[in-house]
Chain A
Amino acid sequence: MTVPARGNSAATAQPKLSITHVTKRFISPNADQEIVALQDVSLQAPSRTFICLLGVSGCGKTTLLNLVAGFLDPTEGEVRVDGQLVTGAHADRGVVFQDYALFPWLTVRLNVQFGPRVQGRSQAEQRALADKYLAMVGLSEFENRYPHELSGGMKQRVAIARALANHPSILLLDEPFGALDAMTRETMQDELLVLTTKEPKLVVFVTHSVLEAVFLADRIVVMSARPGRIMADITISLPHPRDRTSAEVTEYVREIRQLIAPQLKEEPRR
């Protein structure tokens, strides 16, 4: 099956996501120092695009994601979704976290039903949505398990199903596969592409893996650290499914690595 690259063809006058001149400063725990996490970042994105935010740790990519999610407010500038100013979290923007953030006291099924439940959907609707999305991530058999009984990959599948069950138009993922082993990671990448092809939406995916970004993204936004800025905005015009070992993919990876290389030297030890 060949999936055409989803791109700017559907671009309308109003972008789905619009980030304009956003600066985010934090006061460090020592209180006397100001940390500039993001400096004058602007980014427009249409619907139905898979964007990867790529950069070394400390480049503010997670901060940018949290601003879009509405967990943080920008110090300067603004974030708009469908022209509306983002002032807080919203069910239309689903979030998948690196540490899964599943509710440990709820079963797999009830975790997936959480969104529809707080939205006031009927019991029957909640159950139907959970059925659908659990089947989609292949975890129907595990509906009555508790999160601690699952492997990392399974937990993240539940978290993705939970986010999708709310039918968000934007899906935000913060290094979702960062804690998984390499094999599971690749399987999850394949599955995520299938899911986002079935239900196209704007996907913003944070990662520090160049190969992961090239494999997944329609567009890679490369960020630099201290202060966090957008360094490059690269369109990956390769059809899906992509071959991780193909010459084209390797060439993209090589180019982006070269772009990031100076950053790696500057990164302070932790």
Chain B
Amino acid sequence: MAQADVSIGTTSRRAGPRRRRSYVELTVLSLVAGIGLWWAAVASGMANPVLMPPPGKVLKAIIELTSDGTLAIHIGVSMSRGLGGFVLGTVIGVPLGILIGRSARAHAIIDPWIQLMRPVPPIAVLPLVVLWFGIGETSKLVVVFYGALFPILVNTVHGVRSVENSLIRAARALGASERQIFRLVVLPAAVPSVVTGLRLGAGMAIFVLVAAELLGSTAGLGWLIMDAREHFFTDQIMVGVIALGVVGYTINRGLLLLEHRLVRWRPAQE
């Protein structure tokens, strides 16, 4: 009986308005514990300090690479490459997606290519892209663009195609022309989906970019990691990895903020 009461209590609480409890303490504790475990593993001799440098050493490397500007330069190089490919993917992916979403004819012509090319990991096309465009900046731009394009394109198409029919009918009955329906109903209705596509595209851009930098480059975070490996500077490898994590996290947060601004009209639960 007592147990039944408890379960009723929990269900009703969940059904009510969701209270946003913040567990900042737990987050901080989790991070501290993780770093502590890392330190303990090295200090106790369980992990080889040459392969797994202790937190202190990595922190020292972070300070060194930051103070002499090396890290900033490599982040800058990677960012500008990634941004270039991402912007190109957006500028082509969003209008193309709108076109495919609107026109059954365009869909019939272009969609089979998307469906065939989409499952191919962008890294798999990298060798060919390098042969076509050389090992320089162009091939990196192309492959990042290729990676970012599909999530943006596919989500834009989905957004445009999934506009509720009753909204279009409502607009039509209010006297809207086809052009007005497109501009005032279809486009705004597609915004959440497009922004999701941008977020996924940005993640893909970073992913592909680092892979390309690892395989062949003279600067960038991927190169930093590869170069450190050549010299067996495991602490610098860790710095590169951490930098990628922080950069990726920042970009994702920024795009989430943008999403929040653009789709303020959506219920909070979604």
Binding site for B on A (CB under 8 A): 69-71, 88-91, 93-95, 97, 99, 101-106, 114-115, 118-119, 146-148, 162-163, 166
Contact = CB atoms under 8 A, between A and B. Distances in A.
A166 B170 CA distance: 12
A115 B172 contact: no
Contacts, number: 72
Nearest to A71: B169
B177 interface: yes
B171 A114 contact: yes
B185 interface: yes
Contact of A101 (B169, B264, B266): B169
Interface of B: 164, 166-167, 169-177, 180, 184-185, 188-189, 191, 263-267
Contacts of B174: 91, 94, 114-115, 118, 162-163, 166
B170 A90 contact: no
11 contacts: A69-B169, A70-B173, A71-B173, A97-B166, A99-B166, A103-B185, A104-B266, A118-B171, A118-B175, A147-B265, A148-B266
A69 B167 contact: no
A94 B173 contact: yes
Query: Mostly helix, strand, loop or mixed at chain A's interface?
Result: loop
Given A104-B266, A105-B265, A118 B180 contact: yes
Most chain-A CB neighbours within 10 Å: which of B170, B184, B185, B191?
A: B170
Contacts of B184: 103, 114, 118
A94 B173 CA distance: 6
Most chain-A CB neighbours within 10 Å: which of B164, B167, B174?
A: B174
Given A101-B166, A105-B191, A119 B175 contact: yes
Contact of B172 (A71, A103, A106, A148): A71
Contacts of B191: 105
Nearest to B173: A95
A114 B175 CA distance: 9
A104 B166 CA distance: 12
A7 to B, nearest CB: 27
Contacts of B175: 90-91, 115, 118-119, 166
Contact of B188 (A102, A103, A118, A147): A103
Given A118-B175, A118-B177, A95 B170 contact: yes
Most chain-A CB neighbours within 10 Å: which of B164, B171, B175, B177?
A: B175
Nearest to B172: A89
A109 B204 CA distance: 40
Contacts of A93: 173
B173 A146 contact: no
Given A101-B169, A114-B184, A146-B265, 16 more contacts: A89-B172, A90-B175, A93-B173, A94-B173, A95-B169, A97-B169, A101-B166, A101-B170, A102-B170, A103-B167, A103-B170, A103-B171, A104-B265, A114-B171, A114-B176, A148-B265
